[in-house]
Amino acid sequence: MKTAEMLRLAKEAVKNSYSPYSKVKIAAVLAGENCTVTGVNVENASYGLTVCAERVAVFKAISEGRKNFYKMLIYSPDVMPYPCGACRQVLSEFFPEDFEVIVTNGKEEERFTLGDLLPFNFKL
């Protein structure tokens, strides 16, 4: 899937972000061989219960029995939405080190491999 199409999906999905506390809307799009899965950040008054868009997309995909993904685009119109440490670790649970992660605010774009983002991941 082309980055432009992933960005279009992210811009549509970000409208569903529930971010009344941070005011930062984020969407993530997982691209696979025959499917895409989106997720948005869902905040909670108890901040520790907030779930990032990346983890929402991954958990949604896994719960639907989908596992063959090759890249993720993370988008926010508000900031450059680099994935947090928890999201990086979750991504490393399900995807290889060469999995591509694209971070964009719609104007700027940076590309990483998962290995770049989390060089010393925790694996059992």
Catalytic residue ranges:
54
Residue among 120, 34, 109, 122 at smallest CA distance from 75: 109
- Per-residue DSSP letters for 23-75? ----EEEEEESS-EEEEE-B--SSGGG-B-HHHHHHHHHHHTT---EEEEEEE
Residue among 7, 77, 79, 78 at smallest CA distance from 36: 7
